[in-house]
Amino acid sequence: MNDASHLIHFTSFSTADKNFQNRDATGFDNLLGIIEKGFKFNKRGTFTPVEPDGELGIRLNIGMVCLTEVNRKEISENINKFGKFGICMKRKWVKKYSGQPVLYSFKGSINNKLLNNLNSLISTTYNLFLETSDSRLNQISLSIADISNHFQAITEIIKHKYENEWRIIDDPQNEVLQKSLVQWQKIEQVNNCEVYSSVSFLPISNGDDADFFILPKDYQELFCSRVVNPSSNKYKIVLLEDILNK
């Protein structure tokens, strides 16, 4: 495991809530699902203040894949947060799709003020559009919103700096990424009706693009029996116990 050249996606990171049931089973199923289908671009709903000291205002719904460049020591110290399962990708693979490090900030910083100002401009220009019906103002508002969305997608108020997070953003203008995405159909029950939608996944060639997989020893046999392409993927296992004991 070369800490300098790898980025890890922990498959049960989002279930860090202490009350979450069956966290290990969820992390394991997520691991198998990513190997088979690829990384899902989860929509991350975030709110940003409209004014420097304002209340939470504009909701940004941004599709992203999150990874981290934590080292062995940081994994060991924060295992309860990260979970026991992970997929390790080479940094150059992440960069291929314009993945980049998160800009860690804090309230009152220049990054935070820039976001606030952008969002204030969105509101101002859109209100002017409503007053004047000048379509050019609406277009300006939409353009500013696009800039704000992208900046927000790679900016994070400091919470857990140890994450050292990287993100691949579902950017419609990223041709390399968009050509690689695969759409999977999703069916949900809404008011007793089936609602169909599509979800974007970034394939990892059934595991071929991954460098290795992190899992506990007691899941090794089950992994080999359920993973796609077991003949090659079983050789990419790195046991969690080996990471924690080094």
**What tens-digit pLDDT sequence spans the chain (246 residues)?**
556 688 999 998 665 565 667 889 999 999 999 999 999 987 655 444 444 444 544 555 678 898 999 888 888 888 888 899 999 999 999 999 999 998 777 667 777 777 777 778 877 887 888 888 888 887 887 787 777 777 777 777 665 555 688 999 888 889 999 999 998 887 878 788 887 777 889 999 999 999 999 999 999 999 999 999 999 999 999 999 999 987
143 domain residue, yes or no: no
Range of the domain at 107: 6-111+155-244
147 domain residue, yes or no: no
136 domain residue, yes or no: no
Amino acid making up residue 82: F
129 domain residue, yes or no: no
β-pairing, 193-202 with 39-40?
antiparallel
Contacting residues for 23 by C-beta, under 8 A, at least 6 apart: 12, 15, 83
72 domain residue, yes or no: yes
Give the chain's domain count: 1
pTM for this entry: 0.79
Retrieve residue 18's tokens: 């202490």
149 domain residue, yes or no: no
91 domain residue, yes or no: yes
Cα separation of 17 and 139, whole Å? 41
121 domain residue, yes or no: no
Amino acid making up residue 36: E
Closest C-alpha among 20, 30, 15, 7 to residue 219: 30
